């Protein structure tokens, strides 16, 4: 969205062209591009343009606090209009703004645009304190957080060997490769526990609790 690298230029010209990124057809392109494009709505939602020279889309880019102008006003004319196109010399074209957003919105936009400074527009990431984009901050936006659980602190404790923590985690999620687990995924086999003389059926409860070897350890 902001870089001028060869990679960015290639994908902008091939898939975006002269249109806006939010209007790109998500069903077209390679599987790699489709995977990239799935992240675009979230990126647009959590980013905002700080207007200076106004070289951004008037309708589709997020440069006001409540989102892109097209959310509140349908695109009837000038779909490729940029913010800088709403200027006449050093003043804003009030008549054009009236036609675009109506009388109720003109005053708000004019007061907002009047406070802009000269320079190059800056795209900021609204989820970070300094406005810079980072993969860590983005992951925090995309991840689905579970409720905090006390037992996680007991398992992943710094004084417990990592191997033991992994086994406990696998046991809680029924991922330990005992015979019972293998049979439940559809692989036929004769089950016999190697840790006890009786050769009982090997399931998770038997190996970790009820079996002869486990009882001796407990």
- What span, in angstroms and rounded, lies between the C-alpha atoms of 51 and 83? 8
Pair (90, 167) in one structural domain: no
Residue at 93 is within a domain: yes
Segment (H or E) for 111:
helix 103-114
Pair (53, 70) in one structural domain: yes
Among candidate residues 142, 170, 191, the one where a domain is terminated = 142
Pair (113, 135) in one structural domain: yes
Pair (29, 93) in one structural domain: yes
- What span, in angstroms and rounded, lies between the C-alpha atoms of 80 and 20? 8
The predicted model gives 38-47 an average pLDDT of: 86
pLDDT digits (tens, 9 = 90+) for 126-167: 888 888 888 888 888 777 777 777 778 888 888 989 998 998
pLDDT exceeds 70 at position 76: no
pLDDT at position 75 is 65
pLDDT at position 66 is 78
Indicate whether this model's pTM tops 0.75. no
pLDDT digits (tens, 9 = 90+) for 120-131: 888 888 888 888
Among candidate residues 104, 125, 142, the one where a domain is terminated = 142
Pair (100, 208) in one structural domain: no
* Number of domains making up the chain: 2
- What are residue 22's phi and psi, to 5 degrees? -70, -15
- What span, in angstroms and rounded, lies between the C-alpha atoms of 202 and 179? 5
Residue at 87 is within a domain: yes
How far is C-alpha 168 from the geometric centre of its chain's CA atoms?
A: 30
Q: Residue 92 sits in which domain range?
A: 6-142
pLDDT exceeds 70 at position 173: yes
């Amino acid at each position: 969205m902001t870089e001028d690298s060869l990679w960015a230029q290639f994908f902008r010209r091939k898939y975006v062209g002269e249109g806006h990124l939010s209007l790109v057809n998500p069903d077209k392109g390679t599987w790699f591009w489709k995977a990239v494009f799935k992240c675009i709505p979230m990126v647009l939602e959590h980013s905002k343009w700080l207007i200076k020279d106004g070289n951004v889309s008037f309708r589709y880019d997020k440069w006001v606090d409540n989102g892109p102008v097209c959310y509140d006003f349908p695109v009837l004319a000038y779909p490729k209009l940029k913010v800088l196109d709403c200027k006449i010399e050093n003043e804003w074209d009030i008549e054009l703004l009236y036609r675009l957003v109506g009388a109720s919105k003109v005053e708000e936009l004019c007061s907002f645009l009047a406070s802009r400074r000269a320079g190059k527009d800056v795209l900021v990431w609204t989820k970070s304190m300094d406005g810079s984009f980072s993969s860590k901050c983005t992951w925090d936006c995309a991840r689905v957080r579970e409720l905090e659980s006390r037992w996680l602190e007991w398992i992943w404790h710094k004084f417990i060997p990592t191997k033991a923590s992994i086994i406990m985690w696998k046991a809680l999620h029924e991922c330990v490769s005992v015979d019972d687990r293998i049979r439940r995924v559809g692989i036929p086999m004769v089950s016999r526990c190697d840790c006890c003389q009786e050769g009982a059926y090997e399931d998770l409860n038997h190996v970790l609790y009820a079996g002869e070897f486990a009882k001796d350890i407990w």
